[in-house]
C-alpha cells in the first residue's frame, strides 16, 4: 500500500510592507455559528490616524482585540509593526499601546503616581518610571495637576492621563477605542489635540469611534466595516465623493420668489438634475459640478432680478450621509441607531 504523502506545510506569512504599521488580510473570527469577522481587510500606514467605523455588531471591537493580541483569529493573517499577531504576540505587545473606552486610572492616586505605577508595572525601574512620568505629564499638559488625586480631574484630564499611561513604553502603534465617549465638547477638544500631537510625533493611531465628526477631524483615512468585512476605505474626502459632489442651496426671503430661484438654480444644476424645492423653508437646492462658478452665477442673477436672498451656500456631503449610504444605518448622536 502506497503511504500517504506528507501534508503540505503552511507557508510563513509574507512580511508587511515597511510603510505599513497594521495589516489585516482576510481576517476571520467565529463565535459558534456567528461570524464576527468574515474576511476583513485593513491597511494602516505608519504615522497616520486611521478611523474604524461601523454599526453595532460590525466587528470593530473584535478586530481591535485581535490586532492587540487579546483574541486569536480563526483565519487570515494580521501583522502589527511587522510582527504577526498569531505567531509573535509578545513582540506585538511590546510595540503597541491600548486605551479602552473608559479611563483605566486609579482615582485615589495622583496623576504622577498613576504614571509611575504603570512605569513600574512595565519594569522600567523607579528612576526611569519617574523620568517617563515627567515627560508624559509635560506632553499632555498635566504638570500643574500632577500632584492632585485623579478623582478631582475633569473628564478630559482623566482621559489624557489614560492616554499618557498607554504611552509609557512609547509604542509604535496606539489603539484607541472610542476615546471621547461621554466627554463634554471642551474635553473632547483636549483629547483631539492630544491625538493630533501623537500622530505628528510619528505614532500610528487606529481609532474606533461612534462620532463621525471625530473621524472627520482626526483621521487621515477611514475604513467602514459591515458584517465583519471592509466595505469602504479612503480619505474622508474620498468617501464623501462617493455620495456626490457639492450642492447649491438658496433660501429666499419671500416665498413668492421661489419660482425665480428654481429657474435660476436649474440652469447651473449638474447633469440637468431638477432642483429640489422646500416651500416651508423657502429653500431651493441642486447638485452642481463647479460649485464656485454656480454660486457666483446664481447670486448675480437673483440680485439682477431683484430676488431677496436670505442665504446662499455650497453644501458638501457629510460623513453621516456616507455612513448612511454605505451601511443603511444612521450614526450615533442622531437619536436613532448608534454607529459603534
pLDDT of residue 338: 36
Cell numbers found for residue 141: 499638559
- Domains of the chain, CATH where assigned: 20-240 (3.40.50.300), 246-316 (3.30.70.100)
**How many beta carbons lie within 10 A of that of residue 227, not counting itself?**
17
pLDDT of residue 16: 64
pLDDT of residue 331: 59
- Return contacts of 302-309, CB within 8 angstroms, 24+ apart: 302/250, 302/252, 302/260, 302/261, 302/264, 305/260, 305/264, 307/252, 307/254, 307/257, 307/260, 307/261, 307/264, 308/252, 308/253, 308/254, 308/257, 309/250, 309/251, 309/252, 309/253
**Integer Cα distance of 157 and 146 in angstroms:** 11
What's the predicted TM-score (pTM) here? 0.74
pLDDT of residue 105: 85
The helix or strand, by DSSP H or E, that contains position 313, with its residue range, turns out to be: strand 309-315
pLDDT of residue 240: 83
pLDDT tens, the chain, 340 aa long: 455 554 444 444 555 677 899 999 999 999 998 999 999 999 999 999 999 988 878 899 899 999 999 999 999 999 999 999 999 999 999 999 888 776 678 889 999 999 999 999 888 999 999 999 999 999 888 999 999 999 999 888 888 898 888 888 888 999 988 888 777 788 788 888 888 888 888 899 999 987 888 888 899 999 999 999 999 999 998 888 777 778 899 999 999 999 999 999 999 998 878 898 999 999 999 988 888 999 999 999 999 999 999 999 988 877 887 887 777 766 554 433 333 3
pLDDT of residue 191: 82
Q: In what order do the strands lie in the sheet with 221-226?
A: 96-99, 173-177, 204-208, 49-53, 221-226, 229-234
Helix 258-266 and helix 291-304, axial crossing angle in degrees, nearest 10: 140
Amino acid at each position: 500500500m502506497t503511504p500517504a504523502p506528507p501534508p503540505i506545510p503552511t507557508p510563513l506569512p509574507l512580511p508587511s510592507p515597511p510603510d505599513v504599521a497594521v495589516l489585516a488580510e482576510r481576517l476571520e473570527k467565529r463565535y459558534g455559528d456567528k461570524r464576527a469577522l468574515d474576511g476583513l481587510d485593513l491597511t494602516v500606514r505608519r504615522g497616520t490616524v486611521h478611523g474604524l467605523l461601523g454599526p453595532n455588531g460590525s466587528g470593530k471591537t473584535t478586530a481591535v482585540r485581535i490586532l492587540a493580541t487579546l483574541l486569536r483569529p480563526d483565519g487570515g493573517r494580521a501583522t502589527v509593526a511587522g510582527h504577526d499577531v498569531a505567531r509573535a504576540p509578545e513582540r506585538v505587545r511590546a510595540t503597541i499601546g491600548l486605551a479602552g473606552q473608559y479611563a483605566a486610572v486609579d482615582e485615589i492616586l495622583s496623576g504622577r503616581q498613576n504614571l509611575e505605577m504603570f512605569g513600574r508595572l512595565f519594569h522600567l525601574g523607579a528612576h526611569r518610571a519617574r523620568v517617563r512620568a515627567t515627560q508624559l505629564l509635560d506632553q499632555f499638559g498635566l504638570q500643574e495637576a500632577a500632584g492632585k488625586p485623579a478623582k478631582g480631574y475633569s473628564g478630559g484630564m482623566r482621559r489624557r492621563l489614560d492616554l499618557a499611561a498607554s504611552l509609557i513604553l512609547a509604542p509604535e502603534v496606539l489603539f484607541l477605542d472610542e476615546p471621547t465617549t461621554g466627554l463634554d465638547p471642551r474635553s473632547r477638544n483636549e483629547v483631539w489635540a492630544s491625538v493630533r500631537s501623537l500622530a505628528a510625533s510619528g505614532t500610528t493611531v487606529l481609532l474606533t469611534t461612534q462620532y463621525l465628526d471625530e473621524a472627520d477631524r482626526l483621521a487621515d483615512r477611514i475604513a467602514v466595516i459591515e458584517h465583519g468585512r471592509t466595505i469602504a476605505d479612503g480619505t474622508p474626502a474620498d468617501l464623501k465623493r462617493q455620495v456626490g459632489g457639492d450642492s447649491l442651496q438658496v433660501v429666499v426671503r419671500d416665498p413668492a420668489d421661489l419660482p425665480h430661484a428654481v429657474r435660476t438654480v436649474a440652469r447651473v444644476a449638474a447633469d440637468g438634475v431638477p432642483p429640489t424645492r422646500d416651500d416651508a423653508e423657502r429653500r431651493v437646492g441642486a447638485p452642481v459640478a463647479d460649485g464656485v462658478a454656480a454660486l457666483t452665477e446664481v447670486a448675480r442673477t437673483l440680485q439682477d432680478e431683484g430676488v431677496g436672498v436670505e442665504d446662499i451656500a455650497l453644501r458638501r456631503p457629510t460623513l453621516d450621509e456616507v455612513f448612511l449610504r454605505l451601511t443603511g444605518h444612521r450614526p450615533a448622536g442622531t437619536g436613532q441607531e448608534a454607529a459603534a
